[in-house]
Amino acid sequence: MKKLEELVRPHILHLTPYSSARDEFSGSGGIFLDANENSFGSVIQEKYNRYPDPHQQKIKQKLSRIKKTAPDQIFLGNGSDEPIDLIIRLFCIPAKDNVVVMPPTYDMYSVTATLQEAEVRKVSLTEKYEIDVEEVFRRIDGNTKIIFICSPNNPTGNSFSRENILKIIGNFQGITVIDEAYMDFSDSGGFLDQINDHRNLVILQTLSKAWGLAGLRLGIAYADKEIIKLLDKIKFPYNINQATQEMVLEALEFENRKNELVRAILDQREFLENELKKLRIVEQVYPSDANFLLVRFRDAARVFQYLLDRNIIVRNRSKLVLCENSLRITAGIPEENAALIDQLKKFENEA
Ligand SMILES: *Cc1c(COP(=O)(O)O)cnc(C)c1O
């Protein structure tokens, strides 16, 4: 890769970050009169009168044990959306630099890049929903700062070939971001172990899916410590609130429970896959490494509306490239999935 100093926006390299009260003194115990907090307490729950740990050390300690990384290779954000935004702002000079995304994929990469006035170069997946590596390398230039790879991919559900991803990490001179939001549902292994060998690699994970904590908003970026230092430099000082930090710290004690939830979801995904394949209105159920299925129907718009009228809400992805007539269906609990299949059978009989 290029030197990190050549990829980062120059003014950020030289920026003196905001220094919070808790940066300047972080000891415990003592009379804290430095942060203009309310020393009397709070209107509810006494403890929320104090600012939270700006560096979330306890969570990073715990995560580093679970994930076998170093605490200084971890950045925590308000959902994965925060690191996506910060990574783009860290590297992309507005109206000059560009990023590569591979549709159909998660929209936030291109929305956030556009917001930052970074050009978005779209390199569609192949018909088989695989990365078109040659086309990616044809489309990049000296101003391509980031390539976003989502694997397992949303909304197609599949993981990309390991070989293709390694070709990109190994040969691209800029930053490769691999979004592993759905990795817990896959046994493809992921790329977290590669951050020690590739200083240009950022792995995104989240507690929103397998851990079942979408409401708490905790996304994680893993990378070489030099990239993490830069993300720390530009984040909001107290970006993870105290309530979330407490709940996450507790939740991380229950990795076994997470694994049980994953098994239950995978069972339900299999049930859905089998049942959907029996329906005449279904043309294809795509293989999934995630907690959802992409399903191609004969007439997705009508199926979507029929389900909606019966209070079953799925995601219509038909407008995305390569997703014609396709609905994305999250695996629910057994009763929900049975209700869905029931209604689809009714639709089929009425059609
Ligand atoms: C759901 C999802 C996320 C998670 O976003 P959070 O902000 O962490 O809730 C990230 N990437 C992809 C591709 C997703 O589908």
Locate the ligand 1 atom nearest the alpha carbon of residue 78 and give its number: 7
Q: How far apart are CA 201 and CA 169, in angstroms?
A: 7
Element (DSSP H or E) covering residue 265: helix 255-277
Q: For ligand 1, atom 12, which residue shows the shortest CA distance?
A: 181
Establish whether the linkage from the previous residue to 152 is cis, with ω within 30° of 0. Answer: yes
Reference 315, options 335, 334, 290; nearest CA is 290
Q: How far apart are CA 163 and CA 147, in angstroms?
A: 16
203 with 190: CB under 8 angstroms? yes
Give yes or no for residue 80 CB within 6 A of ligand 1: yes
pLDDT digit string, tens, across residues 97-156: 999 999 999 999 999 999 999 999 999 999 999 999 999 999 999 999 999 999 999 999
Residue 351 clears pLDDT 80, i.e. is over it: no
Q: For ligand 1, atom 15, which residue shows the shortest CA distance?
A: 154
Distance in Å, CA 278 to ligand 1 centroid? 31
Residue 161 clears pLDDT 80, i.e. is over it: yes
Mean pLDDT, rounded, for 55-65? 98
Residue 1, pLDDT score: 86
CATH, domain 256-350, list 3.90.1150.10, 3.40.50.261, 3.20.20.70, 1.50.10.100:
3.90.1150.10
Q: How far apart are CA 107 and CA 131, in angstroms?
A: 17
Distance in Å, CA 181 to ligand 1 centroid? 6
**Among the residues of 80-238, which ranges form H helices?**
81-91, 108-115, 133-139, 162-171, 225-234
Distance in Å, CA 279 to ligand 1 centroid? 30
Residue 293, pLDDT score: 98
% the chain with pLDDT above 90: 95
Q: Which residues pair with 98 in a beta bridge?
A: 119, 144
Distance in Å, CA 108 to ligand 1 centroid? 9
CATH, domain 6-253, list 3.90.190.20, 3.40.50.20, 3.30.360.10, 3.40.640.10:
3.40.640.10
Give yes or no for residue 97 CB within 6 A of ligand 1: no
Question: What pTM value is reported for the model?
Answer: 0.97
Residue 176, pLDDT score: 98
Distance in Å, CA 80 to ligand 1 centroid? 6
Q: For ligand 1, atom 3, which residue shows the shortest CA distance?
A: 181
Same fold, 6-253 and 256-350: no
Residue 28, pLDDT score: 83
Mean pLDDT, rounded, for 284-293? 98
Give yes or no for residue 82 CB within 6 A of ligand 1: no
232 with 55: CB under 8 angstroms? yes
Distance in Å, CA 204 to ligand 1 centroid? 9
Give yes or no for residue 77 CB within 6 A of ligand 1: no
Establish whether the linkage from the previous residue to 83 is cis, with ω within 30° of 0. Answer: no
* Candidate from 29-33, 72-76, 336-340 with smallest mean pLDDT: 29-33
pLDDT digit string, tens, across residues 187-241: 999 999 999 999 999 999 999 999 999 999 999 999 999 999 999 999 999 999 9
The tokens 């308000």 sit on which residue? 78
Torsion of CA 154, 160, 165, 167, to 10 degrees: -140
Domain extent listing, the chain: 6-253, 256-350
Residue 47, pLDDT score: 84
**E strand residue ranges, 152-212:** 175-179, 201-206
Residue 328, pLDDT score: 98
Give yes or no for residue 155 CB within 6 A of ligand 1: no
Q: For ligand 1, atom 2, which residue shows the shortest CA distance?
A: 181
Q: How confident is the model at residue 320 (pLDDT cuts 50, 70, 90)?
A: very high
240 with 218: CB under 8 angstroms? yes
Residue that wins the pLDDT comparison between 24 and 61: 61
Q: How far apart are CA 250 and CA 248, in angstroms?
A: 5
